[in-house]
Structure 1
Amino acid sequence: MTGSGNGGACSGKGVYLKLTVLFLLSSTIYVYLYSSITMQTFAIGEVMKGTINDIQRWRDKMEGWVQMIGGGGSQINAKFVKNASFAENMQNKSKLEVRHRVSEQYNNSVSGTKKPSKSTFLHQKPTRSFVKNSTGSSVGGKTEVLLTLFTSWPTKAEKYTCHNNTIKNWAQLKPHIQPVLFTQETLLAEEATEKGWAVLPVRKAGRGVPILKYMYKDAMERYNSTFYAFSNGDILYSQSLIETLQTVLKSSQIPKGKPMMIIGRRTNVQDMTSAEAVSGDKVQKTAKVRGKIFTVWAEDYFITSANYPWKDIPEVVIGRRAYDNWLVSNARKQKHVTIDATDTLVALHQTTKAGNQEGFKADNPEYNHNLLRRMYRHLHYAAGLTSCADYYTRYHEKRQIQILKRTVPRSCFPV
């Protein structure tokens, strides 16, 4: 009995020892295979990343070459964009995944809960390189910067194509127009800089949203141009922007020396594609074919002269309702020159799933209205419609732009 029991115990220990050895061997094999596969995956990923970057660089070079070709350049460009879309989409997807990890940094930074890192922005010296004249032409062989055009947006996956279109579109307006992006996001700043934009940090914000007057003040202190303008980040422009501003400068109808504000209605286009935004000519054509002109209540850009008194403007924030109409009504009340450029300046709004009333759906949509109501006894927003501007632009014979005095409707009063 005793011998049989000891034999059973020894047999049990032997089985346990075998199982232990088998487990250790299996674990070793598993770790080896996992490490090997991980290293191979990493190596493949690095190779793919390098390949995609190479494709992107060649695509950018090809775009530059195509833009130098006359005649059928737009057709070649459209064809190439189609062929390059796979590589671009792969790279965009990778950028979006990383951007989402830093989007919280933007919200914290502009709300004052966290100071932006000094390494976020590339150091940029003030652009004060040559003398301006009154015609918007070249001085000393250099093209004068006609307009400093700036905007701001937080990273959102559903708006990536829209904002990517904006980055490329505004960059094509150089050297007459200098695009500037206000942001706290490192990756977004780097991408904009690569495309020829200037980048500035958001200096002051209200509830996490940039305050408009400080954007103007910072842009005016840093860059030298005839005009300065905030525009919503989903607006695309064509050569008509430059042509309209050059006409304003040459016009004898407009009083000289007075502060000036140029506004206009936008044209909504649903689901704008990258191919449709590839050039200013394409933007102009798409707006004509698929666009729908929007209400006189909506104003998406504010082009002002260098002497416009932004220091006296309340601390309204961008992207929320009420500030646009108040700005125009205030300009009229202060006897500034106001011009409605709707008929000659194409401002294409890229309408996404968010629709055409994003300001009403954003967080704290009444921020500006509540601020203005505390400061002023009466608010007459209807005095700040595009149709209330004192002057307006139009095309006449031979597609020349003309600026005329407007008979302002009674509904635009009292101011």
Structure 2
Amino acid sequence: MYLCDKAKHAGWLCFPVLRRAGADRRPVLPTMFLQAMLTRKGCLYGYANADILFDESLAYSLESVLSSKVLEESALDDQPLFVTSRRTRVKNVTRSDAVDLVALRKKCEEKGVMDTEWAEDVFITSSNFPWITLPDVVIGLASYDNWLVLRANELSRRTVDIFETTLVVHQSTETDDLDRVRKVDFYNRRLITNMYGAYNDQRGRLLCTYFISN
């Protein structure tokens, strides 16, 4: 409750996790989106892993996406919008780095490493994205992120990677790669395969979105 109280004090709304799945009962991503949509009416809804930091460039990028004439002309207005981004991995981000955007950007320039096109920790969609139809994939485990980009491309031509214009910082540690190996769990892949059949992760890389920001 301590973190929830701090978040509320900073102006955030906090909700209990309504649905969990998998062996270690992780939060179900589609349910998180649906809960937010029922609580607040808006044009965009988003999720990012807890170890991700942004600066104001996220807002500028999303404003540009929403006002893009290219996106308007590329697809029917009723097609859902799906936005994601590559991330910059920065080791040992301090508390002072996290609250000082100038310091954060400087640390990214000096020590940041652009992650591969396989790593996706940010998902932002329009309210008409059909989260209710998707399987109960859970956050923090492999295989759902690339499939989600693949599925978004099947549903719409309005898929955008905003990494060129957005600072997305992944707070990394020396043990990240080891921790990732230790928690290999194929819950998401089994779930998706049972529902949709086998799929190719390569079709869900960040290079596969229809558009990139610039």
Question: Structure 2 length normalisation: TM-score?
Answer: 0.91
Bigger helix fraction: 1
CA contact (8 A) 1:321 1:365 kept: yes
Structure 2's unaligned 5+ residue stretches are: none
Equivalence for 1:293: 114
Residue 232 (structure 1) aligned with residue 49 (structure 2): yes
| 1:235-314 aligned within 5 A | 235-255=52-72, 256-314=77-135
> Number of residue pairs matched?
208
State whether residues 150 and 204 of structure 2, in contact with CA within 8 Å, keep that contact through their aligned partners in structure 1: yes
- Partner amino acid, structure 2, of 1:307: N
Distance 1:229 1:329 in 2: 18
Q: Once the 2 structures are TM-superposed, how far is the Cα of residue 283 of structure 1 from its aligned partner?
A: 2.3
Selected match of 2:204 from 377, 384, 396: 384
Superposed CA offset, 1:323-359 (max 9, x none): 0000000111123411011111111000024315755
Which of 140, 163, 187 does residue 2 from structure 2 map onto? 187
- Secondary structure of the residue aligned to 1:254 is helix
Distance change (3 Å), C-alpha of 1:258 and 1:280:
farther
| Aligned: 1:369 with 2:171 | no
- C-alpha RMSD over aligned residues: 1.6
Q: Which runs of 5+ in 1 are unaligned?
A: 1-185, 395-415
Relative contact order (C-alpha < 8 Å, sep 6+): which is higher?
A: 2
Identical positions, percent: 33
Distance 1:325 1:232, change over 3 A: same
Is the radius of gyration larger for structure 1 or structure 2? 1
Distance 1:357 1:302 in 2: 25
Q: Confirm or deny that 1:337 pairs with 2:189.
A: no
In 2, Cα distance between equivalents of 1:281 and 1:356: 28
Structure 2 SS opposite 1:253: helix
- Deviations 1:159-198 (CA, angstroms, capped at 9, x unpaired): xxxxxxxxxxxxxxxxxxxxxxxxxxx2221122122221
Maintained 8 Å contact 1:340/1:393: yes
Q: TM-score, normalised on structure 1?
A: 0.48
Moved over 3 A (4+): 356-360
Aligned residues of 2:91 and 2:173 also touching (Cα < 8 A): yes
Tell me how far apart the structure 1 counterparts of residues 199 and 207 of structure 2 sit (CA, whole Å).
18
1:305 positional shift = 0.8
**Where do residues 105-124 of structure 1 align in structure 2 (5 Å cutoff)?**
none
- Per-residue displacement from partner, 1:351-403 (whole Å, max 9, x unpaired)? 024315755432x6211011112222221111010000100112xxxxxxxxx
